[in-house]
Copies of this chain bind each other. A is one copy, B any other.
């Protein structure tokens, strides 16, 4: 009865493949062969097909008819697009959540942000990124509009699959990020109006994107 909770085989396959993509076992460009995955998971190809199509809908994999599926996210412009979209969606989600964020949530977010500050010293980019997600989760999880919330989750998923850690590439950005987090919390605490919060949350992410772009231009990503 312990396996009742896992749901259908399709569900298992979906979770399994997604996990492998996010954790990096399947790197971008990796060729996903239905039969092989099916064998690995001990299921038939049909549920795997469904799982792949679901992942395609989320943008985690690219699927070509009669050819097969590959893990997407190779394209650096893809990162740009995702970040821009997320800046808009997350900004809106945070603004909509703000009135529903209580003192305990603020405290929790502040605790996470403190951990992030500590993290700066030893500089563990993976851990820093995980904490970053925790922090923002507190801010947008109260969003009353389930569609928007869903879009935010999809955005984070895509980012996770593209890069385990943004901050590995833009180390200088981490310090500013922590400061902006505190500013954001103060805005929410002081019941700032929705527009102000939305703008702040959006710029917070845009700034990370800009930092990444500046870094890329500087030459470290000279290859097209």
What interface size band does chain A fall in? Answer: 20 to 34
Mask: chain A, 33-49; 1 = CB below 8 Å from B; 0 = not: 00000000000001001
Task: Give, as a whole number of angstroms, the nearest-CB distance from A93 to chain B.
Answer: 9
Q: Are A84 and B151 within 8 A (Cβ)?
A: no
Judging by beta carbons under 8 Å apart, are B81 and A146 in contact? yes
Which residues of B have CB within 8 Å of A59?
147
Residue from the list B8, B49, B81, B84 in contact with A50, Cβ < 8 A: B49
Residues of B with C-beta under 8 A to A151? 85, 151
Contacting residues, chain B, for A13 (C-beta < 8 A): none
Q: Which residues of B contact A88 (CB under 8 A)?
A: 88-89, 92, 148
Identify which of B57, B82, B148 contacts A57 (C-beta below 8 A): B57
A219 within 8 A of B: no
A84 touches B148 (CB 8 A): yes
**Interchain CA distance A64-B46 in the complex, whole Å:** 18
Partner of A148, one of B7, B49, B50, B85: B85
Residues of A70-95 at the interface with B, using a CB-CB cut-off of 8 Å, are 81-82, 84-85, 88-89, 92
A53 at the interface (CB under 8 A from B): yes
In the complex, how many angstroms separate the beta carbon of A81 from the nearest chain B beta carbon? 5
Q: Is the CB of B7 within 8 A of A81?
A: no
Tell whether A204 is near chain B: CB-to-CB under 8 Å: no
| Contact across chains for A65 and B145 when beta carbons are under 8 A apart | no
Closest 4 CB pairs of A and B: A57-B57, A85-B147, A88-B92, A81-B147
19 further A-B contacts with Cβ under 8 Å, apart from A81-B146, A82-B147, A85-B145, are A7-B65, A8-B65, A50-B50, A50-B53, A53-B54, A57-B57, A57-B58, A81-B145, A81-B148, A84-B145, A84-B147, A84-B148, A85-B147, A85-B148, A85-B151, A88-B88, A88-B89, A89-B89, A151-B151
21 A–B contact pairs at CB < 8 A? A7-B65, A8-B65, A46-B46, A49-B50, A50-B50, A50-B53, A53-B53, A57-B58, A59-B147, A81-B145, A81-B147, A81-B148, A82-B147, A84-B147, A84-B148, A85-B147, A85-B148, A88-B88, A88-B89, A89-B89, A151-B151
